[in-house]
Amino acid sequence: MLARLGTTLFSLVYWPLAFALMLVGALLTLALLVVRFPYQRVHVWVTAPLFVGCVPLSFTRMRVHYHPDFDPETRSVYIQNHINLLDGMVASAVIPHAFSGLMNAWQFKIPIYGWLMSMSKGIPVHRGRRDLTLESISKAARERKRIGMSVLTFPEGHRSPDGKVRPFRRGVFMMARNAEMPVVPITVRGMHEVNRKGSMLFHPGRTVDVFVGPQHDPSGLSDQDLLGFAERLRGFMSHCLEHGRWPETSGQSRAAE
């Protein structure tokens, strides 16, 4: 009873502080973009550091592990398991350069948040014909690659209700293939214990491990082959999530500083 009361009180304090920090980051980012600072630099200077602050603010310890074959200089399509509202902040901590998000078009209409996503070169996904949607997001991804940015995606489409890696949607992988960008899996382990879908409660004092895998090349794969490609990556991420280590027994992680 006392533990739940403490968690509730902590959450009541955490949410306003986290939103205030994000608001400061959003407003500073918008101000710099208005005066035409390139977003690639603004992301590294302002946006990512302030948004990442929401993780330690929740008294969550985050340990980051990079696969030995991960190339931090290669612009890629990052796929991450989707747990809670801190997912984007975790991505900001582990992706070593500017990136844009792939998100539903309606999110761009949200005041401040939507403006920020638009000015930070977010990629909207419009409902309608799949072929036209795929063409649109593939073209946008190619442009992000050209200007030195990566793309963050959540191929499950929705937050996982049980913390496990849910089935992937194929469109993300078709976009990566069409844009000639490799795919990098990001697996976040332990975040479901911090906060979960449908709950406003944050549980402090937990440890989260983030596994950033190597680049996987989808070039030349047919639409049918991409199904197997996606499933292999899902298996890779599920193994990291369940066992807390790389699937390859010889692979050793490189801890982030």
Range of the domain at 190: 59-255
What integer pLDDT is reported at residue 47 of this predicted model?
Answer: 92
- The least confident of 7-16, 62-71, 110-119, 176-185 is 110-119
What integer pLDDT is reported at residue 253 of this predicted model?
Answer: 45
Asked if residue 221 is part of any domain, the answer here is yes
Residue 215, phi then psi, degrees to nearest 5: -70, 140
What integer pLDDT is reported at residue 249 of this predicted model?
Answer: 54
Asked if residue 207 is part of any domain, the answer here is yes
How many percent of the chain have pLDDT more than 90? Answer: 80
Asked if residue 72 is part of any domain, the answer here is yes
pTM: 0.94
What is the domain count for the chain? 1
**One-character DSSP codes across 10-41:** HHHHHHHHHHHHHHHHHHHHHHHHHTT--HHH
List pLDDT tens digits, range 86-104. Answer: 999 999 999 999 999 998 8
Are the beta carbons of 61 and 30 closer than 8 angstroms? Answer: no
